[in-house]
Amino acid sequence: MKNTNIKSISVKALSLLIVAMIALSCTFFSGCGENSSSSSSSTTETKKSTETTVASEDTTVSIPDNAITAVIDIKDYGKITVALFPDDAPITVQNFVKLAKDGFYDGLTFHRIINGFMIQGGDPLGNGTGGSNENIKGEFSGNGVENKLSHTRGAISMARSQDNDSASSQFFIVQKDSTYLDGQYAAFGYVTDGMDIVDEICQKTPVSDSNGTVQKANQPVINSITIEE
């Protein structure tokens, strides 16, 4: 009888020890029950607050705290919201913001549109040859400037001629990933809302050649570009 009691007590003690170890494991590693679910939810929420999906091609970028918001209002289409990255392309962002605040872009158009590539606008002449009164330095690696922004879907970048420092007012928004442009053109932000409008413009606007030339009557009009700081 004594032996039986000893065995019974030993089993109970061992059971209590196992329960205690499991409880400790849950406390330190948050890997059990509700703690696990809570931890996963918290991680997801943190990720959403620091990253924004800017494309349908699984492209995500972190939006910096000092990003500047630009809203491009396009007649008959709607608004495209863009986050500008001053840390990566300070000269480009400053130039774009200044022109927008001065009302330079109001009433201008998108004169070059290639479905599956991009939409280009910001030319006061509406034919790809015009600009503002000032040219800026091309902020890309091919011109000796570090710029980590890639020309993935939703990127906004500066158009230019063969001269690296010829960018002025013309810009383009990338519809499909075009990373071969990296290092050759100054990307300076990403669309955070309104890529469906870019798609619609690309799909609906008639062009007159393979270079995406749009006749004046068919060019989508920029009502305004508003800077929200």
- How confident is the model over 122-138, as pLDDT tens digits? 999 999 999 999 999 99
200 near 80, Cβ under 8 Å? Answer: no
190 near 61, Cβ under 8 Å? Answer: yes
Confidence band for 51, pLDDT divided at 50, 70 and 90: low
Q: How far apart are CA 215 and CA 197, in angstroms?
A: 20
Q: How far apart are CA 180 and CA 174, in angstroms?
A: 12
Dihedral angle over CA of 7, 12, 18, 24, nearest 10:
-140
Count Cα neighbours of 154 within 13 Å in the Cβ-side half-sphere.
Answer: 24
175 near 152, Cβ under 8 Å? Answer: no
113 near 201, Cβ under 8 Å? Answer: yes
Give the phi and the psi of residue 75 in degrees, each rounded to 5: -55, 130
Assigned token pair, 172: 């383009």
94 near 86, Cβ under 8 Å? Answer: yes
DSSP letter for 63, please: P
Q: How far apart are CA 192 and CA 194, in angstroms?
A: 7
Q: Given a cut of 80, is residue 72 above it in pLDDT?
A: yes
- Domain 60-228: give its CATH architecture: Beta Barrel (2.40)
Q: How far apart are CA 30 and CA 38, in angstroms?
A: 9
Against a cut of 0.85, is the pTM above it? no
Residue 229 pLDDT: 74
| Residue tagged 């509406």 (tokens) | 126
DSSP letter for 167, please: B
Q: How far apart are CA 137 and CA 135, in angstroms?
A: 7
- How confident is the model over 10-44, as pLDDT tens digits? 444 444 444 444 333 333 333 333 333 333 333 33
Residue spans in the chain of domains classed CATH 2.40.100.10: 60-228
Q: What is the mean pLDDT of residues 163-172?
A: 98
